[in-house]
Chains A and B, each alone.
Chain A
Amino acid sequence: QKEVEQNSGPLSVPEGAIASLNCTYSDRGSQSFFWYRQYSGKSPELIMFIYSNGDKEDGRFTAQLNKASQYVSLLIRDSQPSDSATYLCAVNSPRDYKLSFGAGTTVTVRA
């Protein structure tokens, strides 16, 4: 079982819609959760981090964490064509310091 799994995608949404990205992780002791956005040919850019159960909102982005279900999600509201990118879920385990990344979900926002 992979440490971090994401929807394989690609995910295509119309402009203005909500894009919903899901991520599950295997280490129940994980404490830190991150969403990165990666445009083609560019390096990952941090969007949000979340540590506590519940929702965390930042502009059009909302991260949701449910540690009991080992599930973290990212919602993008009012999706824009500029949101078209690959979104990487990353999890930091309590045993070490490295981030375990999911394979990423590619999102395409149709104008």
Chain B
Amino acid sequence: GAGVSQSPSNKVTEKGKDVELRCDPISGHTALYWYRQSLGQGLEFLIYFQGNSAPDKSGLPSDRFSAERTGGSVSTLTIQRTQQEDSAVYLCASSFSATMSESTDTQYFGPGTRLTVL
């Protein structure tokens, strides 16, 4: 596709349920990033993938959060036993690579998944 896509666009779940959020990056982009944005807040980095590997998972808020990426493309972010404080917009971004050079590390964002935990 032309841009980063995410699904679902909205997810309402009950406290304690598990949810899976999906991100499909721009074709050819090897780096993929997950962020979280709570209402009225800035963007909080969660995790980053270069290819299929995630060198740094330290941004994940708790062990209820996990993410994987297979085939160097689609990524899923899983939240187990959701809590009300998990309610936020989850944003995915991709870049051509994660090395810092002109034009290759620019991140492009998807439309986000709005998660509401009741």
Contact = CB atoms under 8 A, between A and B. Distances in A.
Interface of A: 31-32, 34, 36, 42-46, 49, 51, 88, 90, 92, 94, 96-104
Chain B, interface size category, equals: 20 to 34
Nearest to A4: B42
Given A32-B100, A44-B43, A94-B100, A99 B111 contact: no
Interface stretch (B68-76, B78-86, B102-110): B102-110
B96 interface: no
Interface in B88-103: 89, 91, 98, 100, 102-103
B102 A44 contact: no
A43 B91 CA distance: 7
Contacts of B100: 31-32, 92, 94, 97
Given A97-B31, A98-B45, A104-B42, A43 B112 contact: yes
A34 B108 CA distance: 11
A37 B59 CA distance: 24
B112 to A, nearest CB: 5
A32 B105 contact: yes
Given A31-B100, A49-B102, 8 more contacts: A43-B111, A49-B103, A51-B102, A98-B48, A99-B33, A99-B43, A100-B45, A101-B43
